[in-house]
Structure 1
Amino acid sequence: MKHIDVKVVMVAAVSSGQGKTTCTAALARKLVKLGRRVRVFKCGPDFIDPMLLERATGAPVRTLDLWMVGPDQCRSQLAQAAQEADVILIEGVMGLYDGTPSSADVARTFGVPVLAVIDASAMAQTAGAIVMGLRDYGPVEMAGVIANRVASDNHGKMVAASLRDVPLFATMPRQQVSLPERHLGLVVPGEIHNLDALLDQLADQLIFDEATWEALAPVRIEIPPAPAAESMPATLQGRTIAIARDAAFMFLYPANLDLLRALGAELTFFSPLADEPVPAAAHAVYLPGGYPELHAQTLSEAATWRASIRAAHAAGLPIVAECGGMMALADTLTDQQDNEWPMAGLLPGAVAMQPRLAGLGPQGLPTADGVLRGHTFHYSKLTTTVAPAAHTIKHPSAIQGEAWYRVGSLTASYFHAYYPSNPAAAAALFMRRHG
């Protein structure tokens, strides 16, 4: 089998909050500025980090997840990236060993060494003990360390000395600038003023040992033979799917769009925030997640949008609403300032933001075509008299997960589906039901 040798590292940490995304973005931008062709992946379900990392490199960021995406598709995506890049960075999720499967599982499955990000702001030599623990617990191959939030050159030297046989690839000072955050994680790129300048500044702040990086052994990525003619059935041939896409609705896996197109659908986009109606040519509507709670007043005043989605529902067009998309179709939405706003009113009930996380983790939706995999992550709760048509199943606990509602032609849930995990089930969501 053909193969390509390419530098690949898993950028991981002991926990969330260590600065993985900031350091991954800074390293990616630094390598791009050094003339490298860089591709970045995100390990585990996520929407916001990939958008920011895409801005750092200018190349699409896809998801690697052994359960949701599956090993074969992960391997195929890595093979494609290896043919286009000199460097592949994989940003981990949570802590290195958190989750089932974990970032460490991904690293071991594909023979990828780990580049550990350590928040060194409140430690010095103990950094070495943490790195040894991260390396030996799994174990994983430890490529090296990025020491984040380093106070001085001397502080960096103490950290480096503590690492023993593990190289210190880079240090990042206590940042005068950093990527801003909010309740679902980092702020989305469109809301960050001068994001490209910020990424350049982060890259310049990263004190990077290029010689140590060049000494890093490449990873051998197997390139599978070209597949036979595509066998994907054109289930959605001739159907136009209208997809909401703006600052309120942007949590969408690029792979979902690829899958819908592969099934034959034509995709068109519109903005409820701009009070645009559902396009007249649409045979179905897709409302992905996002931040409707930040734009609740604008959505409540978007009379054209609200009338058009009600008309689409009355006409029996399949409407698929995920998380934020579902929130915008309830009767009311109460934001974080306790202001209640009228929404489109297709799903009877009220949505209210909560101070704490209300749902998190990988889940699967049982369907007539098998399980459709995905995840959930939300800070709001829906109170409704509608009885769920089904529930997702949490992975790996197998206990009941999110409610999945049907109201006429509307299907709605907090569940974010990853369509390539079950193309037939995904296609069925956008087909009219009979009877």
Structure 2
Amino acid sequence: MSDVIILGAGIVGVSTGIHLLRRGRSVTLVDKNAPGRETSFGNAGIIQREGVRPHAFPRDLAMLMQVGLHLSTAARYEPLALPRLAPALLRYWWESSPEHYRKVVQSYAPLIARSIVTHADLMAQAGPDAEALVSKSGWLLAFRSDKGLRREAEKAREDALQFGISHRVVEWAELKQMEPALKGGLAGAIHWTDPWTVRDPGALVTEYFKLFERLGGTFVSGAANGLEQDAAGWATTVNGVRYTGKQAVVALGPWAPDVLEKLGYRLPLFVKRGYHMHYDTTKGAKLNTLVLDPEVGFALAPMARGIRLTTGAEFAARDAAPTPIQLDKAEKAARELLDLGERLDAQPWKGARPCTPDMMPIIGKAPRHEGLYAGIGHAHHGFTLGPATAELLAQSMTGEATAIDIKPFGMERFLGR
């Protein structure tokens, strides 16, 4: 028997295992895939210290019309999935109202503030191979329109005053000096200087996993057959073998409902799917810093494998067949900015971001069962918040005072409604 069973070896599960091992707990980590090969693998690689404002549901009519008519690259939906998604999306829209959203930001900002410090902590212990994956030069939120740039600059000034987030407004002439390979079509950018970027997110999770193993953690490869509570705590069966623990953590991202619903927790979780593709470049083009184009809806990130193009959100069933329509649109727009060469992947990578209607993750104890915990629902910020979530879970599970108040992230907010 272990002290703790963790289901899910993404960045949340691996990091939680590390924090518990540091506190003297024995840990068994279970996943059907290699650590960090799912949602933790296929993102833009930003540790988003500036991301105090989670992605709200669009409320302006023009954007809603673009999405509704499938004209948007930033977001699209699968019509057949809408009936099942409708209740969660309706609440997502409601929680995105100005009044509700202000409260969300106030609760969310302290969590985001733990992102850099908790990643830095794990990187330092994981060693030089982990730290070598990281750039600390920030990233660029680039705008094609001057109106968009000025509007975002005003928001950035407000966030600097309220949350202490550093940034610079970079006009086109300076942006061209920073990134000579950009071809034009941009008014300028917000240079967020506090965040870090990672040139291979999956590799960073692998380095964290190596630390997990060095600390004495046990990894079990295989699909867990749910969770069962018994007199000793919790048990799961993998490939016919029963594993037990005094406590259990569900860190399965978009697959969490497969376990939690059997235990009576019907949470309004939904997914935003996303795609990425790697590219070579032509004409000697090189990108030094990640560039995100919010007006079209894609990011270009310099990665170990090449330039990674990531898409916006696709509202669809978690396990539905890939429909990389957004990727094709984003690629066309990206080629206007940078001389991309051939695609380097045989097929687009597809992942599912686990989301909650109020844009905040679920972190902490499950209220109806002793010894059951969850760290799920991080949406666009799972890679950013994995170590911060792990810190809070481990503190809560071992009776320590938590680094920040975790009550706003409790599962209770979605139950009994």
**Fold agreement, TM-score > 0.5:** no
TM-score by length of 1: 0.23
Query: Which of the pair has more CA radius of gyration?
Result: 1
TM-score by length of 2: 0.23
Structure number with the higher helix fraction is 2
